[in-house]
Amino acid sequence: MRKSLIVLMPLLLTACVDDTASYYADGPVGNHALTIHRAQKHFWSSASRVELIMQRLPDCLRRIELTEMPAEDVEIELLSGGDNVWTLRAGQEMWQVETQTCTQYPDVKGDGGELMGVFRADGDKFVYEAAVVETVPADAPAK
């Protein structure tokens, strides 16, 4: 019995999700980042807890619980409203935070701003993908 538990333990642990993906506002070596953490509490549950960890060191470091959703369906858009105001959007749910004073706004104001990228599951990894910005030359013909 004990040997079968030891053999099965890695299988039980591999089903759990506990990972993060980060957006670095001031480059990959900076102190200003927004990190999404998704964690599945139990291997038999499909739900995962989704949190935002915002940091702008040394003035701001805070963890905010956002929502629960299936681990494989976590997809959160990151939008920048300027002046360290960030909006996160997952379907119909939206959250707005500000990293200057490390606060979460009770209501989302405006449209959220410019799309910076998306936090999402990519196979068995959780990643941040920057938005692709296409520039149109000034002398391009109109369609």
Q: pLDDT tens digits for 23-32?
A: 999 987 789 9
Q: Give 78-116 pLDDT, tens digit per residue.
A: 999 999 999 999 999 999 999 999 999 999 988 899 999
59-87 average pLDDT score: 94
* Residue 10 included in any domain: no
How many domains, in total, are found in the chain? 1
Contacts of 39 (CB under 8 A, 6+ apart): 17, 18, 48, 49, 51
> What mean pLDDT value characterizes the chain?
86
pLDDT attached to residue 19: 94
* Residue 98 included in any domain: yes
Q: Is 131 helix (H, G, I), strand (E, B) or coil?
A: coil
* Residue 139 included in any domain: no
Confidence band for 5, pLDDT divided at 50, 70 and 90: very low
pTM to 2 decimal places:
0.81
